A and B are shown apart, each in its own frame.
Chain A
Amino acid sequence: MLDFLQAVSDGVLFGTTYALIGIGFTLVFGVMHKLNLAYAATSIGGAYAGLLIFQVWAGAPAWAVFFCAFLGGGVLGWVVYVTCFHFIPLSNPLAPLMATVGMLLLIDEVIVHATAGMPQNYPAMFDDVMLRAGEFTLRGDLLLVGGVSVLCMIVLLALLYRTRLGLATRAVSQQPVAAQLCGIRVGQVNAMTFVITGLLGGIAGALIGASVGALSPLLTAPLTVKGLIVTVIGGLGSIPGAILAGLLVGGFENLFQLYRGVTERDLYVMLLLFAFLVFRPGGLLGPKGGHD
């Protein structure tokens, strides 16, 4: 029982990072009705960018690295927007998708080249802090991960629902042509969506690096798959759905690992996705029948 609770709590806390990745995918889908397959790569890329701060400030504290990752993610998000969505006519369904695949590969390879393929250590905060209740522990660094993630979600929701930019974004997602006719600069809104999700992604990447202790380009593919799974389970286009699904997947993933081991764990996560696709294609909080 204790193991169960421990696995769930650790999983759910880590799952908040999946939620952030899921939000990134779902937000771009919601606004532009397109999938940005490069998103997880920009997230990890942002995390690596965070490490660049050590070039200028040798003894930088962890929070400085996280902040740098935050900014790096935003920059990468904008780059993906320009290379994949700005010039290609959006009426062509396959080309932007394929371009994001190209960016995914490109970002991955740049990382491999810059680091000679060696995993990089990542600073953590509060990793020596442990809250205990008998045998049940809550890792301090995971709590931080959870806390920062929740903070990001709150800020994002505030941005979407309390600011003019957020209003414009929601307008564009519902009726791009009408929004344009109202004077909203759709191109700018789209670019901003990518920057914002990029910022979010950078933080998520940094948090993942912090809780795992190291970064490696090998993280990109599984994170992409997991992020997409979270997005679909939560319901394409639904931010609260992505949050819920992220926690769900994080928790279940750890449970699967506890009971069936690491090698079979991901297989069960796939089965979880398929169960949703069969019984509830719209996801947790999406429309019943699913999106087009």
Chain B
Amino acid sequence: MDFYYGLAQTVGVHTLLGLSAYIVLLTGQVTLAQAGFFAIGAYTAGMLTVLAGWHLVPAIGAGALTGAATACAVGFPALRVKGLMLVVATLAFGEGVRLFFFNFDYQVAKGEIKVGPVGGEGFRQIRFFQENGWTTGEVMLFIWAFVILVMAALWWFDRSRYGAVLRAVGEDEVAAQSVGVNLTAVKVSAMTVGGAVAGIGGALYAHYTTHIEHANFNVLLATFAIAYPIVGGLSNVFGTLAAVIFVQAFLIEGLRDLGDWRNLLFGALIVLAMNLRPQGLFGGRRA
């Protein structure tokens, strides 16, 4: 049973990662920076619970806040970079965050041992769940509470005027401006919301894996982040969820039967999906 709880935890956290990219993709900005905000949320929350003794919930809140703040700061210069250049710029940002944590040491003595992140070795002993006696099942439910919350929020956005405006900007910026939409506000706000969601995901990730290091937040994770909403389709949030389940369940199943061919399958899967259904699993009501 623990195995399935673990799988559900992974699906939950990856869904948050995918949703953080989903909202930004709606505005037409292709972002490879989400893994970076995810990392920032992870380290922030980890450091608060481990080094400062915070309870997990406010730590997650802080992770969301730092993720959002960084994303907002990135959102403004991102406006100046168009189209495919944004892909490169956000990729470089994400890598920059990873390299930052690669070089980041901050240790505090706790009793006899030192705890905290140590550059390349990473950040070990993030043991909030263990120290407070949570079972694997309880952790899974905790994670999914956040996933459901975020999905509900984004579902609500989608049905509101904000969602229509986001999509209008994604479809035709010139037309959107011409009917009075403030492009800067819309695009930066989407980036900020995405950063907050990624921060929450990262915070949860750090605590259920108990050990994070720079290599976890690499280019591969950044591509996973946009792969989920693209493969799932940008019509609604369930597409992203479906894609995460599809990929993670498929990979895990693939893992069982075919040893570690799973990454190969992942790549082939994406190529196939894009050829067979370029608009995504739940992709748009096309003309």
Residues of A within 8 A of B (CB): 29, 34-35, 83-84, 87-89, 92-99, 101-110, 112-113, 221, 224-225, 228-229, 231-232, 236, 263-264, 266-267, 270-271, 273-274, 277-278, 281, 290-292
Sample (26) of A-B pairs whose CB atoms are under 8 Å apart: A34-B84, A83-B271, A84-B271, A87-B275, A88-B275, A92-B278, A95-B230, A96-B274, A98-B227, A99-B275, A102-B270, A105-B223, A105-B266, A106-B264, A109-B264, A113-B264, A221-B220, A225-B95, A225-B219, A228-B92, A267-B96, A267-B103, A273-B88, A273-B92, A274-B96, A292-B83
* Given A84-B271, A102-B269, A277-B80: A232 touches B89 (CB 8 Å cut-off): yes
> Is A225 a contact of B84 with CB atoms below 8 Å?
no
> Once the chains are docked, how many angstroms separate the CA of A271 from the CA of B100?
12
> Is A266 a contact of B82 with CB atoms below 8 Å?
no
> Is B231 a contact of A98 with CB atoms below 8 Å?
yes
* Given A98-B274, A273-B92: A232 touches B85 (CB 8 Å cut-off): yes
What A residues does B83 contact at CB under 8 A?
A: 291-292
What B residues does A84 contact at CB under 8 A?
A: 271, 274
> Is A102 a contact of B89 with CB atoms below 8 Å?
no
> Is A281 a contact of B81 with CB atoms below 8 Å?
yes
B58 at the interface (CB under 8 A from A): no
Pick the contact of B271 from A102, A228, A264, A271 — CB < 8 Å?
A102
B218 at the interface (CB under 8 A from A): yes
Residues of B within 8 A of A (CB): 25, 30, 77, 80-85, 87-89, 91-93, 95-96, 99-100, 102-103, 119-120, 218-220, 223, 226-227, 230-231, 261, 263-264, 266-275, 278-279
> Is B82 a contact of A88 with CB atoms below 8 Å?
no
> Is B267 a contact of A231 with CB atoms below 8 Å?
no
> Once the chains are docked, how many angstroms separate the CA of A292 from the CA of B82?
5
Nearest A-chain residue to B89, judged by Cβ: A277
What B residues does A224 contact at CB under 8 A?
A: 219
A98 to chain B, nearest CB (A): 5
> Is B95 a contact of A97 with CB atoms below 8 Å?
no
State the majority secondary structure of interface residues on A: helix
What B residues does A281 contact at CB under 8 A?
A: 80-81, 85
> Is B267 a contact of A290 with CB atoms below 8 Å?
no
> Once the chains are docked, how many angstroms separate the CA of A263 from the CA of B84?
28
* Given A264-B103, A266-B99, A267-B100: A92 touches B87 (CB 8 Å cut-off): no
A278 to chain B, nearest CB (A): 6
> Is B81 a contact of A231 with CB atoms below 8 Å?
no
> Once the chains are docked, how many angstroms separate the CA of A203 from the CA of B227?
30
> Is A98 a contact of B270 with CB atoms below 8 Å?
yes
- Given contact pairs A267-B100, A278-B80, a sample of 18 additional A-B residue pairs in the complex whose CB atoms are under 8 Å apart: A84-B271, A88-B278, A98-B274, A101-B270, A102-B271, A102-B273, A105-B263, A106-B267, A228-B91, A231-B88, A232-B85, A232-B89, A263-B119, A267-B103, A271-B96, A273-B89, A273-B92, A274-B92
> Once the chains are docked, how many angstroms separate the CA of A184 from the CA of B275?
25
What B residues does A278 contact at CB under 8 A?
A: 77, 80
> Is B85 a contact of A290 with CB atoms below 8 Å?
yes
* Given A98-B227, A267-B96, A277-B89: A35 touches B84 (CB 8 Å cut-off): yes
Pick the contact of B230 from A94, A112, A291 — CB < 8 Å?
A94
> Once the chains are docked, how many angstroms separate the CA of A228 from the CA of B86?
11
What A residues does B93 contact at CB under 8 A?
A: 270, 274
> Is A106 a contact of B95 with CB atoms below 8 Å?
no
> Is A97 a contact of B82 with CB atoms below 8 Å?
no
